[in-house]
Structure 1
């Protein structure tokens, strides 16, 4: 993580609206965090727990060496996945098969960070167990949770988030808007839909009465504010008064706050067209964000065409029912938790929960099939990022299959189709979870299951054998003579049409390539490295012809491992550096760690002990950052022959100094060092431009935007995930008050002296 500012806050979405009020509340929560290690923000839906937690987390970020991390739990339907959600948020990979919570404990021990667990109420037991375990096993971890119910742990400090205060009639004066956050919030959100709207002498009594009627609940106020586009404030108050009179028997003051929010949502629902109401209900089956294609698939039919769905989605965005976001270069939408729950109630009322969830499942099953077919090729990075964006909905689709009678076989097929996601993403434990559940639910083993289990087993063998070879005997190329007589099994042939455009053939090629890599790794571990070289070279060539990178990294590392086993250390280092030049390796930290591990071993035995020590420090740091155990990665605690050799050649003091230098390198600097080149400056100017108020990483991103790079190109340039690049760009635009990349480019160029 490197401690750089851009890694201080992780997982928090860009705030596209201003944060209003809450100064005293923020101070209170910060004080509680300084006094205890577990703070839970409670209160009714819509009171602003999530927004307050995010605001406080960003305020205290600099006090935590390893940053603050948001874990969004609203989309989870199974308590078993709470530890997996935390691991995903932290970027911790679990390729060991051990329980996710155990891996998290290892990763967090010795770190100082804040975990923000958002929306815990529906997975309360698992959240309590996770918090209790992590806090007991670590000293520097603190937890800030949001939940409608307390976690119930010893030492938990509760903070009930209050509604925003609104003035009474006698408290209104010229400064009321500044003193009362409820009025400021209404004014801010209303001005967003009616430019120039202000709360002043002519309407402040009506606005204050409206905010009081809504009990100061931020979500209710925001839902009401968007109505000023069509209605005056007095009309809003009159309509709301009528609704309260109906719901509470003429005593508006007696309405509890949960009824207040329900009333506001009911009111928004009634103001939607019948078509928008129906689409709202259908869209409630999405647990994460979704794009227009997904909305059309789930809401299409039933007399609605694609244009009708688009019109309904646009109307729901206008009414603040749907939140519009930009992710992965595409527009996506999501429902706030309270509005999604409301939509599910309406869906149940019309009796369409199962049929809608089935349409949702069918769409994601088709998407999984398309992703599998396109994964082994030039779209691999795009497929990986898109699948991660939809991960919560894939889980929801699987959950539907495994909790609905007669759907288990479809669940097995879906889980098996996602083999590449579980295996390449370091989530094989989750994949096994879904496959096992499907079999327990009555699914019959089939070809899809066999394929998925085979892929997982192959990569497990590759992991194990690669580590074993690097941690082996000294010198590494000496092997027992008996192994030299082992027969070499014939690898399966490349399918006909493998170099064409046939999707099915392309998928088959991926499996054949993995088989070659596993066989090559087996040969290396058995002392037949010479026989492995041809297999690896063929695998690399096939991957290159398809524009594929993940399997190519494994093939290159196995090829390097073969040369290393034969004592050709310079050639081994050459293959490792070729692997490092692939953008995939820099983006995926586990791949980076394995590649640096090989390079460090090759440099050590090639007589470059200082470089080996620096690289060893860098690789151990990367393993620690993703929850791995560096000593285990080097072979169950054994010190490899290469490391012993470098220590002897350099001497312990000098080796340790070089090791510490490597451990302090950022990922980008470690890659640059490994490739033997200085880091490229972000701009062509010798003097750094004044880019305040941007952080250093934001300034780097702004410079690349000014050069005309897309988010995908920025990600490749900085060796970060594309969604991370997108988040940086969104935050920069909001921070500077811009809406277009061209505005940002002009702003940066002017400060860099280019215009």
Structure 2
């Protein structure tokens, strides 16, 4: 490694050392923002990066129309040592965190616009960098407010991006750091409640929302109080208290609209529509959905539009309007080819299964029902999180399906392993995913297979290293290669992959 380092120019060495702060892949904008300072003007970064690629220090990987870059673990570790020797580690780590804090802030700022799918995809690609930025902020004294801000700004990454469990773990840590009533803590509390509600943990959500109201009162912040009110409305909805839920939603909607908070407003509206649906007011719910569809059409907000279409489909199903319900559900899924929001996908695919059951198309219903269940498992939650009313419908329709097909036939048709994108293709086009090859598990090396099993048992890299009598860095390398081979972005997804195959 020293030999390769000696062959580099001083500028190339400096960039190489600064790239150590990127644990995952990164794009040119990130390198220019994080590494382009004191001795490395941003305008020379691209040329230096190309030279490092030519010298096999950096790997360039096409990603759609853009290019992303990464370094191998050993090269990154060497660079980190050099960066510390230059006494730049803290400076560059802070620049790294600030860059991704800015990216997260921009995602929230433009969320109601047409850039939603691109921003969500960008955050998924940068998942490892986001976690590194959070880790540094949590472990660095004085950075607690920045940690809370970053975690709360990543709200759509946790929810729509499919990282519920990871988001929950970060909020568990961050909310214990500092209980000073600040705007950052207040936002972290209501986003944490959102994550907890989707996971089905209403008790922790209630605790977070109570603390959020206290912060709002201490700050005299009516807008923050409205956020607490909105998610209290969802807590009440998921607890089966429909009248109280609707009252909470209406009160918060008025304040959110007054503050021009379009993202929160449209979210609260489609949540209100769900509550109206189960209060046996489908026409009122459809009216609320039409309002969301109108707002989202003007702004290019596809995410809210998809959820409003799902609720509309649910309303039409309740009204016995199967054709309209199916059209709305299919339209909702059409947006998910760009988004891949597993929550909306699971809800909508299951609704289509219910419509098939009513139509007497039981084989197709069993296939769709299994696909929805598989997506729920990948997310780490179930439809039960969404309250007793929809849970009762889900259970009744599943029982009816088994009654029509019999448990053996129903089991034969059930899909146990499907990605959220394949679930969309299945529901819209009837296209079943290709079965995995017989050697699907052994495409991992024996050691990688061993590491995957231990990850599925919930062990950390350090514990795995001790168990296998290897260095932590070696285990880090194995995990990185497994992530790349499985084309997933988190340890949770590795564990899900392993458990779905009953690896032993």
TM range (shorter): 0.5 to 0.7
- Structure 1 residue aligned with 2:141: 405
Structure 1 residues without counterparts, runs of 5 or longer? 1-264, 466-479, 498-503, 681-723, 728-755
From 320, 337, 360, give the equivalent of 2:96: 360
- Structure 2 residue aligned with 1:614: 364
Does the residue aligned with 2:94 lie in a helix, a strand or coil? Answer: helix
Equivalent-residue separation in structure 1 for 2:245 and 2:22 (angstroms): 57
Residues 361, 562 of structure 1: alpha-carbon distance in 2 compared, 3 angstrom cutoff: same
- Structure 2 residue aligned with 1:552: 305
- Structure 2 residue aligned with 1:189: none
CA offset at residue 292 of structure 1?
A: 1.7
Equivalences for residues 192-591 of structure 1 within 5 A: 265-442=1-178, 444-455=180-191, 457=193, 489=250, 492-493=253-254, 508-584=261-337, 587-591=340-344
Equivalent-residue separation in structure 2 for 1:447 and 1:639 (angstroms): 39
Residues 329, 363 of structure 1: alpha-carbon distance in 2 compared, 3 angstrom cutoff: same
When normalised by structure 2's length, the TM-score is: 0.66
8 A Cα contact 1:662 1:670, kept in partner: no
Equivalent-residue separation in structure 1 for 2:320 and 2:86 (angstroms): 71
Does the residue aligned with 1:492 lie in a helix, a strand or coil? Answer: helix
Per-residue deviation, residues 632-676 of structure 1 (Å, max 9, x unmatched): 54777986334455566xx445x964774574998889757755x
8 A Cα contact 1:412 1:443, kept in partner: no
Residues 444, 420 of structure 1: alpha-carbon distance in 2 compared, 3 angstrom cutoff: farther
**Larger fraction in helix:** 2
Does the residue aligned with 1:377 lie in a helix, a strand or coil? Answer: coil
Residues 432, 462 of structure 1: alpha-carbon distance in 2 compared, 3 angstrom cutoff: closer
CA offset at residue 490 of structure 1?
A: 5.2
8 A Cα contact 1:602 1:642, kept in partner: no
Does the residue aligned with 2:175 lie in a helix, a strand or coil? Answer: helix
Equivalent-residue separation in structure 1 for 2:200 and 2:61 (angstroms): 41
Per-residue deviation, residues 334-382 of structure 1 (Å, max 9, x unmatched): 2211111111111111211111111111111111111222333322221
8 A Cα contact 1:569 1:602, kept in partner: yes
Does the residue aligned with 1:320 lie in a helix, a strand or coil? Answer: coil
Residues 409, 288 of structure 1: alpha-carbon distance in 2 compared, 3 angstrom cutoff: same
Residues 638, 408 of structure 1: alpha-carbon distance in 2 compared, 3 angstrom cutoff: same
CA RMSD of aligned residues (A): 3.9
Does the residue aligned with 2:87 lie in a helix, a strand or coil? Answer: coil
Equivalent-residue separation in structure 1 for 2:153 and 2:339 (angstroms): 26
When normalised by structure 1's length, the TM-score is: 0.46
Residues 669, 583 of structure 1: alpha-carbon distance in 2 compared, 3 angstrom cutoff: closer
From 357, 381, 385, give the equivalent of 1:604: 357
8 A Cα contact 1:376 1:548, kept in partner: yes
Equivalent-residue separation in structure 2 for 1:576 and 1:678 (angstroms): 15
Does the residue aligned with 1:489 lie in a helix, a strand or coil? Answer: helix
Q: Does 1:641 align with 2:396?
A: yes
8 A Cα contact 2:375 2:418, kept in partner: no
Structure 2 residues without counterparts, runs of 5 or longer? 202-239, 433-483, 488-504
Does the residue aligned with 2:114 lie in a helix, a strand or coil? Answer: coil
Matched residue count: 388
Residues 522, 281 of structure 1: alpha-carbon distance in 2 compared, 3 angstrom cutoff: same
Equivalent-residue separation in structure 2 for 1:400 and 1:357 (angstroms): 7
Equivalent-residue separation in structure 2 for 1:518 and 1:564 (angstroms): 17
8 A Cα contact 2:112 2:263, kept in partner: yes
8 A Cα contact 2:149 2:187, kept in partner: no
8 A Cα contact 1:517 1:558, kept in partner: yes
Equivalent-residue separation in structure 1 for 2:380 and 2:28 (angstroms): 44
- Structure 2 residue aligned with 1:117: none
CA offset at residue 556 of structure 1?
A: 1.3
CA offset at residue 592 of structure 1?
A: 2.7
- Structure 2 residue aligned with 1:714: none
Residues 519, 456 of structure 1: alpha-carbon distance in 2 compared, 3 angstrom cutoff: farther
Equivalent-residue separation in structure 2 for 1:669 and 1:368 (angstroms): 28
8 A Cα contact 2:162 2:341, kept in partner: no
- Structure 2 residue aligned with 1:623: 373
8 A Cα contact 1:601 1:612, kept in partner: no
Residues 338, 673 of structure 1: alpha-carbon distance in 2 compared, 3 angstrom cutoff: closer
Does the residue aligned with 1:582 lie in a helix, a strand or coil? Answer: helix
8 A Cα contact 1:281 1:346, kept in partner: yes
Equivalences for residues 713-752 of structure 1 within 5 A: none
Does the residue aligned with 1:531 lie in a helix, a strand or coil? Answer: helix
Equivalent-residue separation in structure 1 for 2:356 and 2:380 (angstroms): 18
Does the residue aligned with 2:316 lie in a helix, a strand or coil? Answer: helix
Residues 397, 458 of structure 1: alpha-carbon distance in 2 compared, 3 angstrom cutoff: closer
Per-residue deviation, residues 99-121 of structure 1 (Å, max 9, x unmatched): xxxxxxxxxxxxxxxxxxxxxxx
Equivalent-residue separation in structure 1 for 2:2 and 2:381 (angstroms): 58
Residues 616, 493 of structure 1: alpha-carbon distance in 2 compared, 3 angstrom cutoff: farther
Does the residue aligned with 1:376 lie in a helix, a strand or coil? Answer: coil
Equivalent-residue separation in structure 1 for 2:274 and 2:343 (angstroms): 18
Per-residue deviation, residues 458-484 of structure 1 (Å, max 9, x unmatched): 57657879xxxxxxxxxxxxxx9x969
Does the residue aligned with 1:511 lie in a helix, a strand or coil? Answer: helix
8 A Cα contact 2:329 2:352, kept in partner: yes
